[in-house]
Amino acid sequence: EDKVVQSPLSLVVHEGDTVTLNCSYEVTNFRSLLWYKQEKKAPTFLFMLTSSGIEKKSGRLSSILDKKELFSILNITATQTGDSAIYLCAVSFYDKVIFGPGTSLSVIP
């Protein structure tokens, strides 16, 4: 069965900490893996990964994909309260997209 698993499901950290969010998947005909941030309502796009080993970076956020081991990580360094959100991992394959359950991140001052 095609599936996307994220861990941890919930995380509480202090401002300034570094966090690593995990996403593993089992799908056929993999096309891409995408990370989204959902603060209140609409998820917003962060990264799309299609090739193994190539890190994508945007400010304090970075992500990498391992297509051999079927997982991706999303790193956030020097966390801020504005990073508090649900982080969703999605995998695009064949003719559909599957989302993981999300990781709820809370950053406390």
Partner 1 sequence: DGGITQSPKYLFRKEGQNVTLSCEQNLNHDAMYWYRQDPGQGLRLIYYSQIVNDFQKGDIAEGYSVSREKKESFPLTVTSAQKNPTAFYLCASSISGAGSIYEQYFGPGTRLTVT
Region from 18-26, 39-47, 54-62, 77-85 binding partner 1, contact rule CB under 8 A: 39-47
d(CA 93, CA 70) in angstroms, rounded, equals: 13
Indicate whether 56 belongs to the interface with partner 1 (CB under 8 A). Answer: no
Tell me: cis bond preceding 8? Omega within 30 of 0 counts.
Answer: yes
Sheet of 3-7, strands arranged across: 3-7, 19-26, 71-76, 61-66, 56-58
How far apart are CB 66 and partner 1 at their closest, in Å?
18
Kindly state whether residue 37 participates in binding partner 1, applying the rule CB under 8 A.
no
Interface with partner 1 (CB under 8 A), residue total 28
- Applying CB under 8 A, which part among 14-22, 56-64, 74-82, 87-95 lies near partner 1? 87-95
